[in-house]
Structure 1
Amino acid sequence: MNTIDRYEFNIEAQGRLSAWSTRHRFAHRPLGYDYRGVETLQVKAEEWLSVAVAPYVCGFNYLRSQCAYDAAPGGPLVSVYHLTQVQDEADQPEEVCIKIFVPRENPRIPSVYWVWKSSDFQERESFDMLGISHQGHPHLKRILMPESWIGWPLRKDYVVPNFYELQDAYQVA
């Protein structure tokens, strides 16, 4: 059984968002806290869009960043969402981190563009560099690499081409 399918843990040991999600039966797995004390949760890709509403309802109204990385050669790819609760005159706004692990073959995650518009370019970069397809994204296409580029440059198993000619740049008149 997948560890995220079954939840047996102490609610007092959970962070605020994890406890709220547990009470409202949103599937997730608490991953603890990072070095700054930011609560980190894991969510299944197929449940991400419905679960994404939970942090928004809890006041995490700002998507500070979305990034992705290759966990290990041949292993899963990870999409990471850093959410912040923006309030008037808040010195230390509350933050939460959500991680979504997907297989490297056909990696798909629902886009949260319709929840946080700031995910637009960030999800496109994850697609361009790692090949993670954000389903439902209105503009999902390469943003950094040329449309003709083959492969995903930030994957650990990416084979760098021997050359990428820019013929026009080296023409002598």
Structure 2
Amino acid sequence: MAEEETKTTEAAPIVEAGKTSKWLTSNGFEHEPMGLDASGVEIIKVDAELLIPFATALYAYGFNYMQCQGAYDAGPGQELVSFYHLTKLSDNADRPDEVRLKVFLPRNNPKVPSVYWIWKAADWQERESFDMFGIIYEGHPSLKRILMPEDWQGFPLRKDYVSQDFYELQDAH
């Protein structure tokens, strides 16, 4: 009986909102703070349909540099994640502010708006995420494979990807 009581009284850890998260909340942008990454940078969960308003607001707030965009697979049957590492570059900062955005997407229809029109650095990075994970970046000017041949079947970095038995290389001699 005491063991059951312990299980029911344990609560999920409370995640304290960081500086950027507080700014977003004060400006009417509802979101879920996810804590800090290993480098101490705050992570914010954003819904796919709200990514462009969030990204635009963060750009206006000074996050003028997209350090990295990428994706990962949370596991077979789980969500795909598109992430964005943003930096606020300025002349008078010892260490620039940083924030990480994460957008969780369903495996069967992973679509998210492209941030290419805000940060041009997203161009090839979104193409790579498309190529390796099958995430559709809506509004991207040239969303096509960048690493795999155009006729490649599937998305090689998904954890449920089954490798082809044989793939013939064209013009390999």
Smaller-chain TM-score bracket: 0.7 to 0.9
Query: Structure 1: which 4+ aligned runs deviate by more than 2 Å?
Result: 167-170
Instruction: Give the match for residue 30 of structure 1.
Output: 33
The corresponding residue for 1:164 is 167
Pairs within 5 Å for 1:78-157: 78-88=81-91, 90-157=93-160
Amino acid across the alignment from 1:163: F
Once structures 1 and 2 are overlaid, which stretch shifts more, 120-129 or 17-26? 17-26
Give 1:157 shift. 0.5
Instruction: Summarize deviations over 1:80-102 as a string: whole Å, max 9, x none.
Output: 10000111254321110000000
Deviation at 1:55, TM superposition (A): 1.3
Aligned equivalents of 2:136 and 2:111: distance in 1? 5
Residues 167, 20 of structure 1: alpha-carbon distance in 2 compared, 3 angstrom cutoff: closer
Map Cα deviations across residues 88-142 of structure 1 (whole Å, 9 max, x no partner).
2543211100000000111000011111111000011000000000011111111
Could you say which residue in structure 2 is the equivalent of 1:74? Answer: 77
Which letter maps to 1:97?
Answer: R
Question: Match of 1:54?
Answer: 57
Amino acid in structure 2 at the alignment position of 1:25: G
**Cα distance between partner residues in 1 of 2:162 and 2:37:** 32
Cα distance between partner residues in 2 of 1:166 and 1:134: 28
CA contact (8 A) 1:81 1:99 kept: yes
Identity of aligned residues (%): 58
Are 1:41 and 2:38 counterparts? no
CA distance in structure 2 between the partners assigned to 1:126 and 1:27 by the alignment? 26
Contact 1:17–1:58, Cα closer than 8 Å, also in 2 = no
What is the total number of aligned residue pairs between the two structures?
160
TM-score norm. by structure 2 comes to 0.88
Letter in 2 for 1:39: E
**Structure 1 stretches of 5 or more lacking a match?**
1-8
Q: Report the TM-score when normalising by structure 1.
A: 0.88
- Partner of 1:169, secondary structure, is coil
- Structure 2's unaligned 5+ residue stretches are 1-13
Secondary structure at 1:21's aligned position in 2? helix
Q: Distance in 2 between matches of 1:125 and 1:168?
A: 23
Q: Which residue of 2 aligns with 1:5?
A: none
Tell whether 2:19 aligns with 1:16.
yes
Contact 1:27–1:47 (CA under 8 A) maintained in structure 2: no
Backbone CA RMSD of aligned residues: 1.5
